[in-house]
Amino acid sequence: MIRAAIVLVSIAAVLAGFGGSSTTAATRAGRCTKVAAPKPRSESRKPPTGKLDAHKTWTATLKTSCGSFTIRLDVKDSPHTTASFVSLARSLFYDNTTFHRLVPGFVIQGADPTAAGTGGPGYSVVDRPPRTAHYALGTVAMAKTQAEPSGTSGSQFFVVTGNASFLTPDYALLGKVVKGWALLP
């Protein structure tokens, strides 16, 4: 299993371009920095009360032990989900969490503080995805259990790295990878 400690470097409202590449030759060659597995932790937080300014472009840059990648957040389709994600990131919730699920040619999933695939922030929010939603390559969406209603999200997210055309529109859209794609499996 590949472990990549996710350390959210920045979340900012940006109105212009994204700049140069953040991946290194070592990352593109598939070599990651070895990191110790983080200690599992339990979390109980309160959901944010506000929403992000939908007139701005919001991005999140995730720094991992394999390099960095940037997500453009989908504030329009998922105002509660993106506000929750930004709130958790700003409070350092995502620091030292892992990608605990890696399915080559499908998805990588992470952001569970327990490192077992079952944890979250202690709350959930709901943004039902559009009926036309599809999970194309580079889509970032929120994970949920089958028992939870469509669009429910806590802290865990997945990045589509291959064919996910069979997924039904049940997962809240977080955004799309716009930079650093080369480091993802």
Q: How many other CB atoms sit within 10 Å of the CB of residue 171? A: 26
Q: What's the pLDDT score for residue 82? A: 96
Q: What's the pLDDT score for residue 102? A: 85
Find all residues with CB under 8 Å of 146, minimum gap 6, and list them: none
CA 13 to chain centre: 17
- DSSP-H helix ranges across 35-102: 79-90
Location of structure tokens 């503080």: 113
Containing 6, the helix (H) or strand (E) segment is none
Q: What's the pLDDT score for residue 37? A: 78
Q: What's the pLDDT score for residue 13? A: 34
Containing 62, the helix (H) or strand (E) segment is strand 57-64
Q: How do residues 23-64 score in pLDDT, each as one tens digit? A: 333 333 456 777 777 888 998 999 999 999 998 999 998 888
- Is residue 4 predicted with pLDDT exceeding 80? no
Grade residue 5 by pLDDT with cuts at 50, 70 and 90: very low
Q: How do residues 73-130 score in pLDDT, each as one tens digit? A: 999 999 999 999 999 998 889 888 888 888 888 999 999 998 888 999 999 999 999 9
Cα–Cα distance measured from residue 85 to residue 71, given in angstroms and rounded to the nearest whole number: 12
Q: Which domains, ranges and CATH numbers included, belong to the chain?
A: 7-45+52-183 (2.40.100.10)
Strand order across the beta sheet in which 107-110 lies: 7-14, 57-64, 67-73, 173-179, 139-142, 157-160, 107-110, 99-103
Question: Could you tell me the pTM of the whole model?
Answer: 0.84
Q: What's the pLDDT score for residue 24? A: 35
Task: Please give the residue that has the higher pLDDT: either 114 or 142.
Answer: 142
Q: What's the pLDDT score for residue 15? A: 29
CA 171 to chain centre: 12
SS3 67: strand
Containing 27, the helix (H) or strand (E) segment is helix 25-28
Q: In this structure, what token pair is assigned to residue 63?
A: 């720094």
Cα–Cα distance measured from residue 142 to residue 175, given in angstroms and rounded to the nearest whole number: 10
- Is residue 172 predicted with pLDDT exceeding 50? yes
